[in-house]
Structure formats: structure tokens, C-alpha cells
């Protein structure tokens, strides 16, 4: 089975965030922002994994979009922690690179699937209109034949 790149990246990122959380708590004595980063940084992968068993395309899009929002929030907390001198420049760049890659992939997923969903909805609506039109033609012809028999 082919590896899913977004699942791999989000799982690795979550593992890394757990280690960062432990480091921030024990070494830097930082509690508030590290809790926020732990929450959003680990939920990205959970949402992506959950989306693999979505009930519909809309559910899949929604879960991945929420994961994108969580990744964006993680980026925010990484920036705040760096500005608060909790990360070195190298640590910050490395974490930012990881989260920005995830954001880029999830952004592409969201755009691609929304576009696909719009196309499918348009095609479905067009099919319904064609079927309704054919039904009306069939029924009007049927009625015309019945009227002409009298």
C-alpha cells in the first residue's frame, strides 16, 4: 500500500510537538502556550486520519479544512513561542518548515476537493434537469396521444 504523505507528515509533526511540549514544560517552565501548541499541533494528524473514513466528500473536505485551521493555529503558537525566546532560531525554522509544509498540502487538498465537489454538484444538477426535462416531454407526449385518441 502506498504511503499517504499527509498522514506521515502530520503523525511525525504530532510526535515532534509532544517532545516540544515536554521540553517547554520541564526546561523552559512554559505552561500556557505549550498547552495550546500541544492541543492544535496533535489535532492536525487526528483530523487527517479521521478524514480517511469520512462519510461523504463534504465530510472529508470539512475534516481536512479543520486540520488546516489547526495547522495555522500551530504556526501562530510557534511564532509566539519564538518571539518569547522559548525557541532558538534553528528550532523555530525547523518547526515552521514542518508546519508550513502541512499547511501547503492541506490548502491544496481543500482547493482541489472543493473544486471537484463543485463540479460533481454541477454535473448532478445538470443530470436532474435533463431527467426532469425528458420526463416532461415524455408525459406531454403521452397526454397528447391520449387526448388525440378521444
pLDDT digits (tens, 9 = 90+) for 122-145: 555 555 556 555 555 665 655 555
pTM of the entire predicted model? 0.74
For residues 92 and 81, give the distance between their C-alpha atoms in angstroms, rounded to a whole number: 9
pLDDT digits (tens, 9 = 90+) for 15-51: 999 999 999 999 999 999 999 999 999 999 999 999 9
Q: Report pLDDT digits (tens) over 68-90.
A: 999 999 999 999 999 999 999 99
Handedness of CA 95, 110, 42, 86 (dihedral sign): positive
Alpha carbon distance 117, 113 (integer Å): 6
CA separation for the pair 121, 106 (Å, rounded): 22
Domains annotated for the chain, with CATH where assigned, are: 5-110 (1.20.1440.60)
Amino acid at each position: 500500500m502506498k504511503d499517504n504523505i499527509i498522514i506521515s507528515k502530520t503523525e511525525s509533526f504530532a510526535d515532534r510537538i509532544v517532545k516540544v511540549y515536554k521540553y517547554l514544560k520541564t526546561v523552559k517552565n512554559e505552561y500556557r502556550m505549550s498547552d495550546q501548541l500541544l492541543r492544535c499541533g496533535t489535532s492536525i494528524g487526528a483530523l487527517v486520519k479521521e478524514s480517511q473514513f469520512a462519510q461523504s466528500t463534504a465530510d472529508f473536505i470539512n475534516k481536512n479544512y479543520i486540520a488546516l485551521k489547526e495547522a495555522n493555529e500551530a504556526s501562530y503558537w510557534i511564532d509566539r513561542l519564538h518571539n518569547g525566546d522559548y525557541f532558538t532560531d534553528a528550532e523555530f525554522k525547523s518547526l515552521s518548515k514542518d508546519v508550513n509544509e502541512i499547511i501547503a498540502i492541506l490548502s491544496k487538498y481543500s482547493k482541489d476537493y472543493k473544486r471537484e465537489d463543485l463540479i460533481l454538484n454541477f454535473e448532478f444538477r445538470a443530470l436532474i434537469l435533463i431527467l426532469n426535462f425528458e420526463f416532461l416531454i415524455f408525459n406531454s407526449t403521452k397526454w397528447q396521444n391520449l387526448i388525440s385518441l378521444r
